[in-house]
Each structure stands twice: as C-alpha cells, then as structure tokens.
Amino acid sequence: MNLSIKYSTLYFIVDLIIFLTVYLSSAKSLYLGSLLLLIYIFYFIIFKHVNFKDFKPYLVFIFEFFILIFLGIISLNSSNTHDILRDAIYFIYPLLCIIYGSLFFKKMSIQKIFNLIIFSGIFVSITPLLSFVRNPMLFQDSLREIRIDNGNGYIASIIALIILLLIYNPFKIKKVTNFFSIFVLLCALLLSFSRTSYIVGILGLFFFYFVSKNKIKNLNTIFILLIFSTFALSFVPKEIINDFTIKILNGVNEVKGSQLWDWQSINENWRGYENFKAVQLFKNSSIFNKIFGFGLGSYLPIDLEILLSGKYYSAIPLLHNEYFTVLLKTGIVGLMLNIVIHIQLLYKSYKIKDHYAKWFAIFLTIVLSFEGVIVRGVFNPEAGLFCLSLLGGLISIDHDERKNDVRIE
C-alpha cells in the first residue's frame, strides 16, 4: 500500500468518525446535534476561511427558515423562554443540517459520499443486531418492548442497503464482505419492525429500479431480496408478526384520524388524534391565528393527560406531523412556506447534472416529504440530519462543478 492510499484511507476514517459523531449525537438529542452543527459550521468559517459566496445556493433557504422563525415571533403568545427557545432551535435545525452538509461533503466525489453512507449504515446496524445475538430471548417480548429496547432503526441502514444493491457497490470483488454488509443492513432493517423504515426501503428499491439503466439485473436483485426477507421473517414468532401486521393495516387510520375518539382509539391512533386536535384548534381559532399561527412556544391542547418523560401533560409542544406542527406555530403562511421549501429542495435536486447524484437527491427529498407526515420530516433529528446534510452536500458539489464549467468555457 503506497503512501497516498494510506493518507486517503486515514482521511476517510476521520470523515467517517466526524459524520457518525454528528449523526448519532443528533439522533440522540436535537439540542446536542444542533450544538455540534454550530461548532462545525463556525470552525469552517473561522479556520477554513469559507467564502460566503459558497452559501449562494442556500441563501433562499436561509431567508425562508428565518421567515418561519419571524412568523413564530410575531404571533408569540407564550412567556416561557424555554418553550420559545426549543421551537426556535427546532425551526433552525434543518438549515443547520443543510449548511453543515454543504461544508462537510463539499470536496467529496459522489463515490466517496456513497462509501461514507455505506460504512455509516453498517456501523449503526451492528449495535441493534448485537442485542438479539446477546439475548435471543428478546423475541419472546412484545413488539412494543422490542422497539423500546432497540429503537426503530436508522435511515442510514436503509439508504446504505439501497445504494449497495442498486446504485454503487464497492465490495463487488470481495464476496464475503459484500454478503456480510448486505446481511447486516437487511437484518437491521427487518428487525427494526418500523413501518416507516419498511415503506422507505420498498419505495427506494422500486424508485431506483425505474430510474436505473440496468433494469433486468436490478429486478432480479429486488426479487431475491424480497424472497430472502420473507424467509427470514418466517422465523420471527407469530405473535410479533401479527402485531406488526395489525400496525401496518392500521397505518392509514393512524395518520388521518377519526371523528369518534375514546381512550382505546386514541392509544391506537395517536398520530391521527394529534392531527385531529390540530385541525379542531385551527378551525376554532381567530383569523390572525389562522394566518400566522399561535407562535413559538405554543402548545396543542389534547383534552387528556399523557405521560411524557416522567411528567403528565394536557398539551403537547410538537406533533409527529411536520406540516401540522408548522401550521400550529406559524399558520397558513408558514405552512405554505414549508411546502415551498420541499418543492425547492426537489427542484434543486432535479437540476443536479450527475445522473446518480441527481436521482439520489430526488429520492432523499421524496423521503423527507413522506416522513413529514409521520415522523416530522425535515425536523426529525435523525432522518432530517442524514437527508438534509446529504442534499446540502450534493447541491454544493453541483454548484461548484457548474462554476468550474463556466470558467473553462
């Protein structure tokens, strides 16, 4: 191994450690993640002498997210500093993710980015799998207890698996490494028992099948994967599979909600109940609140008491639904702006010149828009950081390449 390869490997390991540190810290705590993102951004600005012209592709996002915060301030009706600060961080977090990604991935090739995602996915997938290896009796627990013990998976595992199978595989020659990587990623996805993860995984498989140039090979890959997944899940106790099947079938009702609520239906359809209460509050609010929302620090009354983090609450500060949360805090104006942000991410992704980077960015944008309905989308500490930082990096790389093309001409 020559010296240049050694240095290249060392730099990759350092980048991997940095990315995993920020990613896992954000997944654990939005506040810790935001702090690390700020530190990283200021480090680049102060010590790397970042040219502020490099932020040109993101000026519109900077403007829009600050407008969201401004809307939350003009409709402010809370005097609790902690609640106001929480929401301000919540609203600025996606912007920090985008800027961080634009700085972190700026000088990387698309192959290096894919490698970084693959190794990150493998790393975060091993930990939950070890829980089942150390204690196979976990399968005797209920579905709820398994998810409490092992979480509901990481989006890095899903995206890494999709890349390996359909986009870019650095382990083609190393068959053992290739099998181990796919096995670990797939097992982590299956054992997460997360409806969102399953949907994102299936969506990714068929999305990249349709945009790929080698459809026959990819169709065979998808077919084999689905057969193996079905076979693997056949070893999971029937009680867990039945509970999970019921949750999948109840997914639509859980999101859309119902007009008839009792304690059982609220427990089974909590996301739907949140949305229902948000719509009711919006309908009964003043014209001003309809247009500008209830401001930063506002809570959604839920007409019951729920135990959260050891305390009982009769109102909640954040909903699972990204769009209803924005509507609550910033009204119709903020919701329209929030939708525009998603559209602009999609547009900037579509304008990327590189074929694989373009469709990969479009897929990430679609995932964020979908997850906005279920798990807070761009405001999700884990998935938001992962997808938005990658989008920031891919858009930045494309912007630099276009500038270089202009200079050459």
Lowest mean pLDDT among 17-26, 169-178, 217-226, 243-252: 243-252
Question: According to the model, what pLDDT value does residue 409 have?
Answer: 42
Radius of gyration in angstroms for the set of CA atoms belonging to the chain, rounded to a whole number: 22
Q: What is the mean pLDDT of the chain?
A: 86
Predicted confidence (pLDDT) per residue in 297-310, tens digit: 999 998 888 766 66
Cα-flanking dihedrals φ and ψ of residue 224, to 5°?
-65, -40
Predicted confidence (pLDDT) per residue in 135-151, tens digit: 776 666 666 776 666 66
What is the enclosing helix (H) or strand (E) of 316? Answer: strand 311-316
Question: According to the model, what pLDDT value does residue 300 have?
Answer: 93
Question: According to the model, what pLDDT value does residue 370 have?
Answer: 93
What is the rounded CA–CA span in Å between residue 162 and residue 201? 7
Average of per-residue pLDDT across 234-257: 74
What is the rounded CA–CA span in Å between residue 44 and residue 281? 44
Cα-flanking dihedrals φ and ψ of residue 59, to 5°?
-60, -40
Find the distance separating the first CA and the last CA of the chain, reported in whole Å. 38
Identify any residues that bridge with 306 across adjacent strands, giving them in sequence order. Answer: 313
In the structure, what pLDDT confidence band is assigned to residue 75 with cuts at 50, 70 and 90? confident
- Asked if residue 47 has pLDDT above 90, the reply is no
Contacts of 135 (CB under 8 A, 6+ apart): none
In the structure, what pLDDT confidence band is assigned to residue 407 with cuts at 50, 70 and 90? very low
Of the chain, the percentage scoring pLDDT greater than 90 comes to 50
Instruction: Specify the pairing of strand 311-316 against strand 300-308.
Output: antiparallel
Q: Is 303 helix (H, G, I), strand (E, B) or coil?
A: strand
Question: According to the model, what pLDDT value does residue 310 have?
Answer: 64
Question: According to the model, what pLDDT value does residue 255 have?
Answer: 65
8 Å CB contact between 319 and 278: yes
Identify any residues that bridge with 308 across adjacent strands, giving them in sequence order. Answer: 311
In the structure, what pLDDT confidence band is assigned to residue 408 with cuts at 50, 70 and 90? very low
Q: Is 304 helix (H, G, I), strand (E, B) or coil?
A: strand
Average of per-residue pLDDT across 392-408: 73
- Asked if residue 5 has pLDDT above 60, the reply is no
Residue for token digits 């029937």?
238
- Asked if residue 188 has pLDDT above 60, the reply is yes
8 Å CB contact between 18 and 43: no
Say which amino acid occupies 254. E
Predicted confidence (pLDDT) per residue in 90-118, tens digit: 999 999 999 999 999 988 999 999 999 99
What is the rounded CA–CA span in Å between residue 134 and residue 311? 33
Q: Which of 206-220, 248-262, 353-367 has the highest mean pLDDT?
A: 353-367
Lowest mean pLDDT among 13-27, 161-175, 361-375: 161-175
> Residue length, the chain?
409
Average of per-residue pLDDT across 282-308: 89
Long-range contacts of 84-88, Cβ-Cβ distance < 8 Å, separation of 24 or more: 84/296, 84/297, 86/297, 86/317, 87/296, 87/297, 87/298, 87/317, 87/329, 88/296
CA angle 292, 327, 194 (to 5 degrees): 165
Predicted confidence (pLDDT) per residue in 337-358, tens digit: 999 999 999 999 999 998 889 9
Crossing angle of helices 383-408/322-350, nearest 10°? 30
8 Å CB contact between 327 and 335: yes
Q: Which two tokens stand for residue 408?
A: 């050459």
In the structure, what pLDDT confidence band is assigned to residue 323 with cuts at 50, 70 and 90? very high
Q: Which two tokens stand for residue 43?
A: 């480090």
Question: According to the model, what pLDDT value does residue 7 have?
Answer: 60
- Asked if residue 162 has pLDDT above 50, the reply is yes
